[in-house]
Amino acid sequence: MSDRVTAPERPELTPRHRSLFAVSFAGQLDEGELLSGTPIVTEQTTSDLTISNVAVNTTVLTISNKSVAIGQAVQCFVIGQTVANSPYELSVIATTDSTPAQTKEGYGVFTVVR
């Protein structure tokens, strides 16, 4: 059995446009725990994407119609996606502010539509 956590949201992005992508870690964090530092986002399926501006959210986000509190999601910009190589899977690794710090890993998937 795998303990791999893949975000349930599957946003639809347009080809080759710079798009914001976000993954919530709210369900993985202990009470009062927040993400900290600079997360690492890597593409798992191809080498098409340029990933930039990776950060922990500093404002409340809405992901899959759910409000995600500050410090509980990772967001980044992606560009270079193509319809032919859709869907894309991203691995997201982040540390927390707990003592000792924990490392959380999640996966997000997006599809590309015209």
Q: How far apart are CA 81 and CA 84, in angstroms?
A: 9
**pTM for this predicted structure:** 0.86
Query: In the CATH hierarchy, which fold is given to the domain comprising 12-112?
Result: Immunoglobulin-like (2.60.40)
Q: What is the pLDDT along the chain (114 residues), one digit of tens a residue?
A: 345 666 666 667 788 789 899 999 998 999 999 999 999 999 998 999 999 999 999 999 998 889 999 999 999 999 999 998 999 999 999 999 999 999 999 999 999 988
* Three-state DSSP state, 28: helix
**Polymer length in residues for the chain:** 114
Q: Which residues pair with 62 in a beta bridge?
A: 67
**Which class for 7: exposed (0-12), middle (13-18), buried (19 or more C-beta within 10 A)?**
buried
Q: How far apart are CA 38 and CA 60, in angstroms?
A: 18
